[in-house]
Amino acid sequence: MTGVEILPDASQTQAAKRVPGWLTTASDHRIELWHSGFQGVPAADGAQFAELNANEVSTLYQDLPTTPGTKLYWRLYHRGRQGQDTMALDIGAPGSMVEQRRFTDGNTAWGYYTGTYTVPAGQTTTRFAFRSISAAGGNRGIGNFLDGIFFGTAPYVVLDKTAVPAGPLDVGDVVTYRITAKNEGGGAAENLTLTDVIPQGTTYLPGSLRIVDGPNTGAKTDAQGDDQAYYDAQANKVVFHLGNGATSADGGGLPNTETLPAGTTVEYRVTIDRASGGKQITNTATASYENRLGDTPEPLTSTSNEQVTEVKPAADLTVAKAADATTVTVGQTVTYRITVHNAGPNDATGVTVTDRLPEGLTFLSAEGPGSHDPATGQWTVGDLTNGANATLVLRAKATKAGLIDNTATATANEKDPDTANNTDTVSVCVEPAPSCCDPCAGQK
């Protein structure tokens, strides 16, 4: 590859290789491109740059669709080739452009320039053009290097947040929050930092931070070294530094969707707390970034859509069972008291306690709210409000000597966040009558 190419402009559609998007007023429709380092001239931005004077003095331009009232930013690098070269920047509707500024630079360094332009009323097409004014040496085919051109709107980050699974969910379930950031503007969104406060009623799942897509996909997170994302326990939030060049301390730059259509996507996970039973979990993510197209950085922010997750009611049932006497003789009555308590956080519906009498006990009676089926041992309690108790007094006749274990287990329609306390067992020693020995010896 040579250090310079002179290619047809975008109007020459028959050409196999041309410069896309750019047009020239040169009669031969040719644009001259230099590769960085050719004849000792480095590019100011990227690997190549243009020379306005290709084979003749000309103007290099583009036409863009624009919205009236929009503030546009421009920036460029300019440099002379053989000495002091001068060019002008013209912006406006095609056929009625206005000179914005002239640039004169020598051939020892690139000059860097920025500015703004507000699209006038009724102007839906805007042309920005770089016009050669003069060049050192007097050769019509030499002069005015141009690089790092940008003409467009400020960055505009749009956040989209989703929750998987969508719900309704149960207490104790894990929710994956995924946030996609896209730059729908023109310039890069610099120093991009995404922050998401952990939703109230959930607990962050350690080590779940991940950059799913976009710049630095698969970068380390807090569980692997805090390279680009971390969990702030004091503020109860997750923080992601995103974009090209992001580090553990600062965000990077997110290109616009023309360059990066999918943007960048991150995720983290939370566990639904007991307190969220029967409620909604709501959450939004925010991003802070900078527009650096102007002379000074402009701080900007954006907020995601609100993600709402429905949580099903939960009821923590606790069973406590006791016997009036732990030692009886055959033929005596064993009296059990079974209490079921709803520790919430929501009302319990369809509460049942199953207490099937084991061999050695014969049902006599049951007293308490709801109904009791002696054949199955099922006590149908019904509904039990948050904080309420219900007690069943169950009487049975001891018919066989030995150590008898009797268990009661409670269930309800709602998810129980702690099933360890749903069951209670009581042991009763039944002795022969009259007592001649201890049938329970060695079993207590």
pLDDT tens-digit readout, 307-366: 999 999 999 999 999 999 999 999 999 999 999 999 999 999 999 999 999 999 999 999
The two three-digit tokens of residue 191, written as one number: 């120093």
Is 442 within the bounds of a domain?
Answer: no
Does residue 222 have a pLDDT over 70? no
Q: How many domains does the chain have?
A: 3
Dihedral pair phi/psi, residue 274, rounded to 5°: -60, -35
Q: What is the pLDDT of residue 226?
A: 43
Sign of the torsion formed by the C-alpha atoms of 160, 166, 170 and 172: negative
Does residue 443 have a pLDDT over 90? no
Segment 70-79 shows an average pLDDT of 95
Strand-pair category, 145-152 with 210-213: unpaired
Does residue 273 have a pLDDT over 60? yes
Above pLDDT 90, what percent of the chain?
88
Above pLDDT 70, what percent of the chain?
95
CB atoms within 10 A of CB 283: 22
Last residue of a domain, one of 254, 277, 310: 310
The CATH number of the domain holding residue 259 is 2.60.40.740
- Are 382 and 409 members of one domain? yes
Strand-pair category, 327-329 with 423-431: parallel
Does residue 89 have a pLDDT over 80? yes
Instruction: Please give the C-alpha separations between residue 34 and each of 5, 25, 113, in angstroms, as whole numbers.
Output: 6, 19, 21
- Are 144 and 183 members of one domain? no
Q: What is the pLDDT of residue 227?
A: 64
Grade residue 39 by pLDDT with cuts at 50, 70 and 90.
Answer: very high
Q: What is the pLDDT of residue 221?
A: 53
Question: Domain range spanning residue 249?
Answer: 157-310
CB atoms within 10 A of CB 326: 13
Residue with tokens 């805090």: 226
Is 444 within the bounds of a domain?
Answer: no
The CATH number of the domain holding residue 60 is 2.60.120.260
Does residue 121 have a pLDDT over 50? yes
Partners of 5 in beta bridges: 33
E strands present in 286-388: 286-291, 298-303, 307-310, 315-323, 327-329, 333-345, 348-354, 361-367, 371-373, 378-384
Q: For the stretch 171-188, what's the b/e string if a residue is b when 16 or more beta carbons lie within 10 angstroms of its beta carbon?
A: bbbebebbbbbbbebbbb
The SS3 assignment for 275 reads helix
3-state helix, strand, coil in the chain (%, to 5): 0, 55, 45
- Are 266 and 306 members of one domain? yes
- Between 220 and 247, where is the model more confident? 247
Grade residue 219 by pLDDT with cuts at 50, 70 and 90.
Answer: low
Is 437 within the bounds of a domain?
Answer: no
185 vs 436: CA distance, rounded Å = 94
Q: What is the pLDDT of residue 218?
A: 66
Sign of the torsion formed by the C-alpha atoms of 107, 110, 112 and 117: positive
Pick left, alpha or beta for residue 261 (phi over 0 → left; psi -120 to 50 → alpha; otherwise beta): alpha
Nearest CA to 275 out of 67, 121, 417, 92 is that of 417
The two three-digit tokens of residue 259, written as one number: 């360059």
Does residue 24 have a pLDDT over 70? yes
**What counts of helices (H) and strands (E) characterise the chain?**
0, 33
Rg (C-alpha) for the chain, rounded Å, is 39
CB atoms within 10 A of CB 420: 7
254 vs 214: CA distance, rounded Å = 9
Does residue 170 have a pLDDT over 60? yes
- Are 29 and 117 members of one domain? yes
Does residue 381 have a pLDDT over 90? yes
Mean pLDDT score of the chain, rounded to an integer?
93
Grade residue 223 by pLDDT with cuts at 50, 70 and 90.
Answer: very low
- Are 200 and 129 members of one domain? no
Give the distance, in angstroms, between the CA of residue 166 and the centroid of all CA atoms in the same chain. Answer: 14
Grade residue 224 by pLDDT with cuts at 50, 70 and 90.
Answer: very low
Q: What is the pLDDT of residue 137?
A: 87
Is 443 within the bounds of a domain?
Answer: no
The two three-digit tokens of residue 157, written as one number: 């980050």
- Are 366 and 298 members of one domain? no
Q: What is the pLDDT of residue 302?
A: 97
Dihedral pair phi/psi, residue 95, rounded to 5°: 95, -15
Does residue 18 have a pLDDT over 60? yes
